[in-house]
């Protein structure tokens, strides 16, 4: 095919072989497709594919879409007779796409192709679900092999099929895998959107472990980007979820992440007040040293912190004395134990 210049036909055949094998793996032992040889070993089918695909490509180059339709329809009929539903469905779909480009028959071919697809949808809903699972596996394989853009096409197919059948579990898996594909391309914002979509699906589908793991993943992303408040929210959600279904290793992992993010959030406030070096900031820092708590983000401490400025005249005469008092406090008190940062 390549030697004869039919690059498009070769590419389509190569893609069909990979998808067919992924579908076979998705079906697993006991399925009808599992009993068959891999597509690349079925020489008669390969001969038919080569014959009609190259003829369709030649016709497409010349703009003869009726001829393209005729060859695609021949393949759909051929595979239907062999009960190879996935390949027949594929070429019925190709017929429909080609029929929309035919403008000389008053829409007859498009109506015919649409009717064929309706019959296919009725007879082979189960096969379509299997096609979705195959697309998902193929997408994961492309991510693993470093082809995230190609993976996204397969994952989009799986996403659409999952939506069509109301499969929330499948939709969640699609969102999660799509997020991985986007992250590997450095598209963090888009990746976050898919992960957040997955969380919503996981909540409604009781996917507790996946929910906790995804919250940790999002927490890591926000923690690395310096958004410690958001990171704490996701780590806290991961911790609560893990506690609810009693997964000890996941509980401990969420604890550690949550503690680190809380420490980052707290030290951000400490650094801000230290750099300001004014009287009120020094008072805030003194209050924190005495309480040994995350009082910069704890709502329970807002009132006491707000009262510091009002009472400033009663404590020190100027910022220099406050700074001296903070230094003395640092000399006399120990550092906050790390354990306080680890336990949510």
Cα dihedral 166→172→177→178 (10° resolution): 70
Region at 102 (left for phi over 0; alpha for psi -120 to 50; beta for the rest): beta
Token couple for 32: 């009808």
Enumerate long-range contacts of 62-65, CB under 8 Å, 24 or more apart. Answer: 65/98, 65/101, 65/102
Residue 314 has pLDDT above 70, yes or no: no
The full set of domain ranges for the chain reads 7-123
Q: Residue range 56-85: average pLDDT?
A: 94
Nearby residues of 328 by Cβ (< 8 Å), 6 or more positions away: none
Q: Are the C-beta atoms of 294 and 343 separated by less than 8 Å? A: no
Q: Is the pTM of the predicted complex or chain greater than 0.85?
A: no
> 115-127: per-residue pLDDT in tens?
888 887 776 666 6
Average pLDDT score, the chain? 80
- pLDDT at residue number 288: 66
239 vs 16: CA distance, rounded Å? 44
pLDDT for 30: 64
Q: Assess whether pLDDT exceeds 70 at residue 329.
A: no
Specify the length of the chain in residues: 344
Q: What is the four-CA torsion angle of 39, 44, 45, 50, rounded to 10 degrees?
A: 110
Mean pLDDT of 216-242: 91
Q: Lowest mean pLDDT: which of 190-204, 210-224, 284-298, 310-324?
A: 310-324
């Amino acid at each position: 095919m390549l030697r004869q210049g039919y690059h498009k036909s070769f590419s389509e055949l190569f893609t069909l072989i990979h998808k067919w094998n992924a579908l076979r793996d998705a079906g697993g032992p006991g399925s009808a497709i599992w009993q068959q040889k891999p597509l690349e070993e079925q020489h008669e089918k390969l001969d038919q594919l080569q014959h009609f695909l190259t003829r369709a490509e030649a016709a497409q180059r010349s703009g003869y879409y009726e001829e393209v339709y005729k060859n695609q329809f021949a393949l759909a009929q051929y595979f239907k007779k062999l009960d190879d539903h996935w390949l027949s469905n594929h070429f019925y779909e190709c017929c429909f796409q080609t029929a929309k480009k035919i403008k000389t028959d008053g829409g007859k071919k498009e109506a015919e192709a649409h009717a064929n697809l309706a019959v296919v949808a009725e007879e082979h809903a189960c096969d379509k679900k299997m096609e979705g699972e195959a697309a998902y596996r193929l997408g994961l394989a492309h991510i693993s092999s470093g082809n995230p853009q190609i993976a996204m096409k397969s994952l989009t197919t799986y996403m659409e099929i999952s939506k069509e059948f109301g499969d929330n579990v499948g939709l969640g898996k699609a969102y999660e895998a799509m997020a991985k594909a986007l992250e590997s391309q450095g598209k963090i914002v888009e990746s976050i959107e898919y992960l957040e979509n997955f969380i919503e699906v996981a909540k409604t589908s009781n996917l507790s472990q996946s929910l906790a793991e995804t919250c940790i993943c999002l927490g890591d992303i926000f923690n690395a980007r310096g958004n410690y408040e958001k990171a704490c929210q996701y780590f806290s959600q991961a911790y609560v979820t893990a506690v609810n279904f009693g997964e000890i290793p996941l509980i401990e992992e969420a604890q550690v992440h949550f503690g680190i993010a809380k420490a980052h959030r707290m030290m951000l406030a400490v650094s801000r007040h230290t750099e300001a070096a004014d009287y009120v900031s020094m008072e805030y820092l003194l209050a924190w040293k005495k309480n040994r708590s995350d009082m910069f983000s704890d709502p329970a401490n807002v009132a006491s912190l707000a009262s510091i400025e009002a009472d400033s005249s009663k404590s020190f005469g100027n910022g220099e004395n406050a700074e001296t008092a903070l230094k003395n406090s640092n000399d006399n008190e120990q550092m906050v134990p790390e354990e306080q940062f680890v336990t949510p």
